[in-house]
Amino acid sequence: MRVLTGIQPSGDLHIGNYFGSIKQMVDAQKENDTFAFIANYHAMSSGNGGADLAKLTMQTATDFLSLGIDPEKATFWVQSDVKEVLELYWILSAFTPMGLLERAHSYKDKVAKGIHANHSLFSYPVLMAADILLYSPDVVPVGKDQIQHVEIARDIAQKFNNEYGDILKLPEFKVEENVATVPGTDGQKMSKSYKNTVNIFGEEKKQLKTIKKIVTENVPMEEPKEYESCNVYNMAKLFLNENECIELQERYKRGGEGHGHFKLYLHEIIWEYFRPYREKREYYMNHQDEVREILHSGATKAKEIAMPMMDKIRTLSGIKY
């Protein structure tokens, strides 16, 4: 089964990103024909650009490779290295009614939040449709906020196919329903925009400082403590097996330890969990040319699919004369 996903290069990754998305992508590449790309063109629509964008693109590629995206198993590249996607974007624009884009929640939400609306923000779903339809995936795993964009891709594909025959494959979206929302340091959903993240990479001291800020109940040291509603416990359990979870529950119930102890423990298990990934990252940080090479050969692999598809589309749409 071919699975395709795009990743916006948007900054430091946190443990919500890891359990909500990256770990699943890494696990899925064992069984599927995985296509994953860094959506650097998409990042421009929310104001990213210049040297920052180039840096973020490399950082995101480095982080994903360190966390287990395997270029032997998956096709991993940067969106802008396969220019065919821009050509398809334009061709598909001619099959995209204005109303379809005007109804996009993501666009409307961003405008409502006061983000300056430009054309790239408005036409973002058409580029996303091109990303998808160029590679004919069976499934596109997405977060809930992106479901409508996959539906828009299906609508556009259907309109194109109505005109030219059964060329574009209508993708299915897949939302991982049983993935828990990882809480942030304040108990809300962990998110960059809430500034409540525990980041995967970074200095140890800084991570410990962040963990110490996690909001907890004020209960005297000797008394038993609630674990189910505790933000520290709820983060820790993501990293623990069943027995380790029970042991930690016992420590909460027993009393005699404060939340400071549990926070220290949480820091230790997170730090230990990501140790091998950190080491891999250290390697890639010192070998950025190797990362570039991996991305370039990923783009070459992606083009093997994109080029014949575009050729067919050019002929059908009359661009090839």
| 294 binds, options ligand ADP, ligand TRP, none, Cβ within 5 to 8 A by partner type | none
- Min separation Cβ 119 and ligand ADP, Å: 23
Per-residue mark of binding to ligand TRP, 145-174 (x: CB under 6 A): -x----------------------------
From CA 129, how far away is CA 150, in angstroms rounded? 7
As a 3-state breakdown, the chain gives helix, strand, coil percent values, each rounded to 5, of 60, 10, 35
Q: Which stretch binds ligand TRP (CB under 6 A): 80-88, 90-98, 138-146, 220-228?
A: 138-146
Tokens describing residue 25: 């992508």
From CA 274, how far away is CA 61, in angstroms rounded? 17
> 316 CB contacts (<8 Å, ≥6 apart)?
164, 165, 167
From CA 33, how far away is CA 50, in angstroms rounded? 33
> 83 CB contacts (<8 Å, ≥6 apart)?
none
Per CB under 6 A, 248 contacts ligand TRP: no
Of 122, 26, 43, give the one whose Cα is nearest residue 79: 43
Per CB under 6 A, 26 contacts ligand TRP: no
For 255, left (φ over 0), alpha (ψ -120 to 50), or beta? left
Tokens describing residue 181: 């929302």
Nearer to ligand ADP, 69 or 313 (CB): 69
Nearer to ligand ADP, 4 or 182 (CB): 182
| 17 binds, options ligand TRP, ligand ADP, none, Cβ within 5 to 8 A by partner type | ligand ADP
- Min separation Cβ 104 and ligand ADP, Å: 16
Q: How many residues bind ligand TRP (CB under 6 A)?
A: 12
Per CB under 6 A, 82 contacts ligand TRP: no
Positions in the binding site for ligand ADP (CB under 6 A)? 10, 16-17, 19-21, 143, 181-182, 189-193
Per CB under 6 A, 74 contacts ligand TRP: no
Per CB under 6 A, 128 contacts ligand TRP: yes
| 9 binds, options ligand ADP, ligand TRP, none, Cβ within 5 to 8 A by partner type | none
**Measuring CA to CA, how many Å separate 170 from each of 81, 88, 116, 132, 232?**
24, 15, 32, 9, 43
> In the complex, which residue's CB is closest to ligand ADP?
20
Binding site for ligand TRP (CB under 6 A): 4-6, 8, 39, 42, 128, 131-132, 140, 142, 146
